Structure 1
Amino acid sequence: MHLSKLVIEGFRCFNEKAEIPLNKGLTVILGENGSGKSAIVDAIRLILNDDEFGKSMVSERDFWHSFGESKNESSTSFRIDIEFSKLKPVEQVAYLPWLKTEDLSTASLHLKVQNKTNQNKHYKKELWGGNSSSSSFEWDTYKSIQCTYLPPLRDAEHRLRDVRGSRLARLITKIEPENSAKERLVETVKQNNQQLLKDELIVKAKTNIKSRLVETLGEKLAQDISISFSDTRFERIIENLKLLFYPFLDDSTSIDEFRELSENSLGYNNLIYLATVLAELEDVNEQEISCKILLIEEPEAHLHPQLQTKLLEYIEKQAKLKGVQVIVTTHSPTIAASIDLDNILVVNKTELNRSPVIVPLTNVGLTPKQKFFLQRWMDITKSTLLFARGIILVEGIAEALVIPELAKRVLHKHLASKDRISEYSLEEYSVSIINMGGIYFESFFQLFINAEKRGEGIPIRCAGITDCDPDKDSTPYNGKECDCKNPALKLKTKINNSKYCRLYSNLKTFEYDLALAEGNFPIMANTLLEIIETDGPTKKQIKEYIRLFPDAPVSEKAKMAKYLLDKIDDSNICGKGVFSQQLAYKLANNEIEFSVPEYIEKAILWACKLEGDGGNKGGESNTVEKSNE
């Protein structure tokens, strides 16, 4: 059996009823800060009474409170419901009162808390299993569900320290709970104590203390004393054990070379702590009736990217092999990029006083081919799209380098009249630029295109910027467009009818359209001149075009823009990557006027939620499609 569904209503940020599906093995919950990830984890902790920090107490902050004009409004109660699926026959017998009458392989557990306290200042809680709240509740059945919570930025050293209830002590108890094992360990300690008492140093210390007692109190009032290596009770023996570390694996290392955890790194202590918890949970008795759930918040804490990846790979493997259900929350794009898309649950903040939108990526309609493609291409830079509030998809490195600088100019132009404190940038709007390295728009758009149906797409704006790509020798301009050869443009009608997706295109290519925009050609031509090392005919021609461009007719300007594009595209002269890097540097570090083509401007404004226009092709004379918003 496994926890398959969580339903929350009135709890924390979930004022509206929200259903959250959970995987049998690993579920990774992604989302920006404040999106509701911790609320999901805390709801599970509350209804299952996790064992990490004792009983959870309900507080006023657990009830939903509104923001804005109705800030005093709050939920009169909150309710948390969970379902367990695929119960085996033996589990169905054990959880009989919890079973759903319409499906005996499914059990349910419910918690309802009223927003009013009794005379002891405790909120009234009602916990029941199955369909009826009046049925008897078996606490032994409830306690058989083992829920363990690992908090973010946990103090691993403290939890592993030789104290009462340490993780190491719990693990040892779990491994061999039989009396024979306890007796064996106790007998070993007793023998060590006997040997200790025979040591000359210990005998002398004992004699000295005893003599002082006799001198002080006399033989009639004095008490006898002894010295012991350790308490011989099993519980105290294991609580006095402590973990040590050595920085490398080496079976020949002497115990004297191991060091205290206080000398270890925070990241590795976290890993040791997590390994101890997993070892405890993985020791599953096949006959045991129990559901084991591990909740981990931000496992990336103090870990470098390679360790993050290795850790999640291991957790996912163990979840499948050992029957431990693992639910993880994270902000790490490294983790997001390293796991199967079917394991990802995206939590997205929406309008004020609305519950977060929960989007399992299994629900967004990816075809097997699209899923395979995204999985192979989901590196760290692309996985940021799962955390952003807006997305701009681009074809290559040139757009990825230059468009952030163009965005600063677009945002300044549209917002300069407003009082500003922060800088104008895509980062301020949490908009990520995703370089796809090609024209693979359809697979990426599929993540967002169905978001109008709650839970079937990620509800953030995704704008694509692509080239028209007509014949190589063509020189289009406004009023003389060319036939586009880019197959991605076939998506335009489908994409632009969506509330969350738009595709914007140009006259020819990115650099060509930049050069045709007012005032840009001399800046781009001079940038290329700075890169060209030889003083030959190419330089001479570019300098001539710089002189002629301002007064040339538009048809001639188009030919000059094509010449510039050809030279930029020629790897023997420059190359698009080198040119775009130099241009981006110049735009970022010099206060120069630089025009932004309309198709790029519209994509930026739309992704930042500053404009509702649809996609269009070409320059300013083209008709703009209005969105359905």
Structure 2
Amino acid sequence: MYLSQLKLWNFRKYGSQSNNLDLENPNLTVPFEKGMNVLIGENDSGKTAIIDAIKLVLKTHAYEWIKIEKSDFHRNTEKLRIEIHFKGITDDEAKHFIEWLGWDEKEKTPELILIYQSEIRDNRIIASDIKAGMDSTGFLLVAEAREYLKSTYLKALRDADSELMAKKNSRLSQILQEHKLFKKKKDGIIKHELEQIFDDANGLIKNYFNDCKAIEGQKSNKEQIANPINNFLKDFINEDSNSKFDITEAEIKSILEKISLGIEGKNNLGLGTMNRLFMAAELLHLKKENYDGLKLCMIEELEAHLHPQAQMKIIETLDREARNDIQFILTTHSPNIASKVDLKSLIICKDNDVFPLGVNYTYLGAKTNQSKYKNSYKYLERFLDVTKSNLFFAKGVILVEGWSEEILIPEIAKKINCDLTKKEISIVNVGSTAYLDFAKVFLRKDDKKDLGIPVSIVSDLDVREYERQAVIENSKQIEISGQKQYRLIKQNIINHASLIKDKENKILDTENNFVKPFISKQWTFEWCLLKSKILNSYFKEVLKSVHVGTFGECNTDEDYWEGQLAKLLLSKNLNKTELAYQLSEKLKQINAPLVFEKDDTFHYIVDAIKHACKNGN
């Protein structure tokens, strides 16, 4: 069985400010997959609220004190409701919930819905029991059935050191007590093997302190320790009082509370190692044999105290376990984790809603009437690395095709008062023209029209202002010093607007208010820099610096600059990265803002920046 859906009404940030709960229209519906589910998003996007709602209904194996608080009610409301739906229930699992089960006609398997509803009356919270059933109210779910629906939960910033040390009601003792190996048989009449071991140990301890043998003139153990204490006890209490020394009660709970967990051969373990040890112990719940209950593990901020390589190792292990009928629901702020899991496992939390990236919700795996809407999951699986995965946590995204744009655009943004860092905007260098594969992350095919994240796709027009024409003599190419010689033919391109529109349609064949292409006004990014009224002089300086042999003359003829740049572009010898870096450094020295007029060839970059920043702080 697995948790297939969570529905919330007026729970924390998810609400309508009305006490009339519309059961047909939850304030939030979260679909979950069988195996791995990863909730991602910026701070305060609602990830923890989702986890806490599940915990409130299911409780945890850790026996945490979880109860409803006034702060759990959506602002100015006095009623809340939580529903948890389970599917994929096997016959062995179904036997525990026969009275409450329904039938899933689509999957032809039993279905279970848990219902929790609470309200505030006279400024007091009226607690509610967990109910279950296929109607809107359900019937009381008895404690015995609820035992099979507990979850394993690891909180954020977990204190692994404290949880694994020997102490009363330690988390380690609770974990071990849940295992069948430590269950007593025959109603406790027969002692557990550990209890017998401790009986023997306590006998040895008792004999040690009651030993009457004196060695080498010293008093015996009993004379030195037990007798003085016993004498005081006779005075303090009565003549029949005598002390007893032992390790602990020979009872399995007390014994397990004396056990701590570490790593053999290692002392003074750091936070990261202790965290991993703690997770390994908690996951023991999910590896119990012949267990007919829910196998659900929720981990908040898996990355806590873990360096990136450790995060990768752990998420790979959990992903493997998720294929063995174990369900995981994780929250994370880590691009490392987001880049490592299957894209279909990700659920973006944003603007009081959730946006799953599974096949039923985006165009990532679907085809439309346009052939280029190919399956993008495989492509992104290869190329969505840690750097690119930061797009999941951004308030806006700028997709670019190369290093030049990635280096220079942040500095341009500062000069037009749109600091990308302050506004939490990510630049993603796709390293190719495969914009659509990344853009489809933000294009929905479900009833949610978009994520509300502005995405700018920056691309070159790629229509040459100059065309190369080989020098022909007697129908043969002349080679001088081993190089084919050519001259440049300048083209008269009349309708840039039409060409730009055609390029936009090739990049994105659907209208969207948030995902928009921004095409260079002319040939390439560098060509627009040269032709820009604002950046022309700065770009010429770096051209002379980077390509000394080509731009060594102090020539003011624009045709000269265009021709030389065209040769470098056509021969692919232009050092674009170094040019962008040096121009970026030069712009940092300018204290005044840059003002680009609408007719400036570089204004398309300004438009792309402003679009991506429109939701920024």
TM tier, shorter chain?
0.7 to 0.9
The residue number in structure 2 matching 1:397 is 403
Q: What is the deviation of 1:169? A: 2.0
Structure 1 Cα separation of the partners of residues 233 and 428 of structure 2:
83
Instruction: Map 1:41-60 onto structure 2 (within 5 A).
Output: 41-52=51-62, 54-60=64-70
CA-to-aligned-CA distance 1:139-161 (integer Å, 9 cap, x gap)? 31122112122111111111111
1:236-273 per-position Cα deviation (integer Å, ceiling 9, x unaligned): 11110111235xxxxxx5xxxx42xxx22111111110
Question: Of the candidates 509, 523, 535, which is equivalent to residue 508 of structure 1?
Answer: 523
Q: Which residue of 2 aligns with 1:14?
A: 14
- Relative to 1, partners in 2 of residues 1:431 and 1:216: Cα closer, same or farther, differing over 3 Å? closer
Question: Structure 1 residues 217, 277: closer, same or farther in 2, change over 3 A?
Answer: closer
Structure 1 pair 345–571 and aligned structure 2 pair: CA distance change class (3 A)? same
**Gap change, CA 1:570 and 1:492, over 3 Å in 2:** closer
CA distance in 2, matches of 1:568, 1:199: 90
Query: TM-score, structure 2 length as denominator?
Result: 0.82
Amino acid at match of 1:58: I
Task: Give the number of the structure whose residues are more often helix, by fraction.
Answer: 1
Q: Quickly say closer, same or farther: Cα 1:135–1:481, change in 2 above 3 A.
A: closer
Partner of 1:581: 581
Contact kept, 8 Å, 1:165 with 1:239, in 2: the verdict is yes
Corresponding residue number in structure 2 for 1:163: 167
Distance 2:339 2:166 in 1: 37
**Worse-matched range after superposition: 130-139 or 370-379:** 130-139
User: Which residue in the other structure is 1:292 paired with?
Assistant: 295
For the pair 1:61 / 2:86, whether they are aligned, the reply is no
Note closer, same or farther for the CA distance 1:538–1:592 as it changes in structure 2 (3 Å cut).
farther
Aligned to 1:446: 440
User: How far apart are residue 493 of structure 1 and its match?
Assistant: 6.5
**AA at the equivalent of 2:307:** H
What is the match of residue 486 of structure 2?
A: none
Letter in 2 for 1:560: W
1:467 aligns with 2:492: no
Contact kept? 2:465, 2:491, Cα under 8 Å: no
Displacement after TM superposition at 1:458 (Å): 3.0
Question: How far is 1:476 from its partner?
Answer: 6.8
Alignment of 1:142-221 (within 5 A): 142-173=146-177, 174-179=179-184, 183-197=192-206, 204-213=220-229, 216=232, 221=239
Q: Distance in 2 between matches of 1:112 and 1:217?
A: 57
Match of 2:561 in 1: 560
SS in 2 for 1:207: helix
Q: Which letter does structure 2 place at the counterpart of 1:380?
A: V
- Alpha-carbon spacing, 1:189–1:127, altered in 2? closer, same or farther (3 Å): closer
Kept in 1: contact 2:182–2:252 (CA 8 A)? no
Corresponding residue for residue 38 of structure 1 = 48
The code of the aligned residue for 2:506 comes to: L
- Residue 221 (structure 1) shift: 2.7
Q: Which amino acid aligns with 1:186?
A: E
How far apart in 1 are the matches of 2:338 and 2:231? 72
Could you state the TM-score of these two structures normalised by the residue count of structure 1? 0.80
The match for 2:513 is 499
Of 345, 355, 363, the residue aligned with 1:358 is 355
Amino acid paired to 1:511: E
SS in structure 1 opposite 2:111?
Answer: strand
Q: Which moved more, 1:158-167 or 1:398-407?
A: 158-167
- What SS does the corresponding residue of 1:276 show, helix, strand or coil? helix
The amino acid of 1:27's aligned partner reads N
**Does the CA contact (< 8 Å) of 1:346 and 1:386 recur in 2?**
yes
Q: Is the 8 A contact 1:170 1:280 kept in 2?
A: no
SS in 2 for 1:538: coil
> Counterparts in 2 of 1:268-279, with a 5 A limit?
268-279=273-284
Give the conservation status (yes or no) of the 8 Å contact 1:527–1:582: yes
Cα distance in structure 1, aligned partners of 2:408 and 2:210: 76
Contact 1:391 1:434 in 2 (8 A): yes
Distance (Å, rounded) in 1 between the aligned partners of 2:448 and 2:100 = 28
| Alignment check: 8 A CA contact 1:568 1:575 kept | no
Conserved? CA contact 1:2–1:325, under 8 Å: yes
Q: Is the 8 A contact 1:361 1:447 kept in 2?
A: no
Q: Which runs of 5+ in 2 are unaligned?
A: 17-25, 213-219, 366-373, 468-489, 597-601
Q: Does 1:316 align with 2:331?
A: no
Q: Label 1:202 to 1:334 Cα distance change in 2 as closer, same or farther (>3 A).
A: farther
- The amino acid that maps onto 1:400 is E
Return the alpha-carbon distance in structure 2 between the equivalents of residues 522 and 211 of structure 1. 99
Q: Please tell me the residue identity of whatever aligns with 1:393.
A: L
Question: Which one of the candidate residues 283, 303, 307 is aligned to 2:306?
Answer: 303
Name the SS of the counterpart of 1:42 in structure 2. Answer: helix
- 2:539 alignment partner, one of 499, 508, 524: 524
- What corresponds to 1:88 in structure 2? 90
Residues in 2 aligned to 1:510 and 1:201: alpha-carbon distance in whole angstroms: 91
Q: Give the secondary structure class of the aligned counterpart of 1:540.
A: coil
Cα offset, 1:472, TM superposition: 7.3
Question: For the residues of structure 2 that align with 1:31 and 1:289, how far apart are their CA atoms?
Answer: 34
Q: Match for residue 23 of structure 2?
A: none
Distance in structure 2 (CA, Å) of the matches to 1:566 and 1:7: 61
Contact kept, 8 Å, 1:395 with 1:465, in 2: the verdict is yes
Q: Of residues 550, 559, 565 in structure 2, which corresponds to 1:538? A: 550
In 2, Cα distance between the equivalents of 1:222 and 1:591? 91
Take 1:150 and 1:30, find their aligned partners in 2: how far apart are those partners?
Answer: 17
Q: Secondary structure of 1:144's partner? A: helix
- Deviation track 1:6-61 (CA, whole Å, cap 9, x = no partner) reads 11111111115221111111100111111111111111011112343523221111
Residues 229 and 580 of structure 1: is their aligned pair in 2 closer, same or farther, counting only changes over 3 Å? same
Provide the rounded CA distance (Å) in 2 between the counterparts of 1:182 and 1:109: 38
Say whether the 8 Å CA contact 1:145–1:291 is kept in structure 2: yes
**Displacement after TM superposition at 1:610 (Å):** 7.7
State how far apart, in whole Å, the 2-side matches of 1:41 and 1:311 are: 20
Residues in 2 aligned to 1:193 and 1:93: alpha-carbon distance in whole angstroms: 44
Q: Which residue of 2 aligns with 1:626?
A: none
Q: Which residue of 2 aligns with 1:233?
A: 251
How far did residue 454 of structure 1 move? Answer: 4.1
State the SS of the aligned residue for 2:329: strand
**RMSD between superposed Cα atoms in Å:** 3.1
CA distance in 2, matches of 1:482, 1:12: 49
Opposite residue 529 of structure 2, the aligned amino acid is L
Quickly say closer, same or farther: Cα 1:40–1:90, change in 2 above 3 A: same
Query: Which residue matches 1:378?
Result: 384
Aligned mates of 2:312, 2:233 — CA distance in 1: 66
2:343 to 341, 344, 347: 341
Quick check: 1:111 aligned with 2:116?
yes
Give, in whole Å, the separation in 1 of the partners of 2:90 and 2:615: 54
Q: What SS is found at the alignment partner of 1:327?
A: strand
- Counterpart Cα distance in 1 of 2:272 and 2:501: 48
3-state DSSP class of the match of 2:327?
strand
SS at match of 1:61: helix
Matched AA of 1:188: I
Deviations 1:100-125 (A, max 9, x none): 2564521111111113257xx43242
Distance in 1 between residues matched to 2:407 and 2:91, nearest whole Å: 59
In percent, how many aligned pairs have the same letter? 26
Alignment partner, residue 375 of structure 2: 369
Give the distance between the partners of 1:610 and 1:369, measured in 2 at CA.
Answer: 29
Unmatched 5+ residue regions in structure 1? 66-73, 247-252, 350-354, 413-423, 612-629
Tell me, yes or no, if the aligned pair for 1:13 and 1:356 is still in contact at 8 Å: no
Q: Provide the secondary structure at the position in 2 that maps to 1:208.
A: helix
Counterpart CA distance in 2 for 1:160 and 1:14 is 36
Distance, in Å, in 1 between the alignment partners of 2:224 and 2:114 is 63
Alignment pair present for 1:328 and 2:330: yes
**Residue 471 of structure 1, CA deviation:** 3.5
Distance 1:481 1:217 in 2: 102
CA distance in structure 2 between the aligned counterparts of 1:476 and 1:135, rounded to whole angstroms: 78
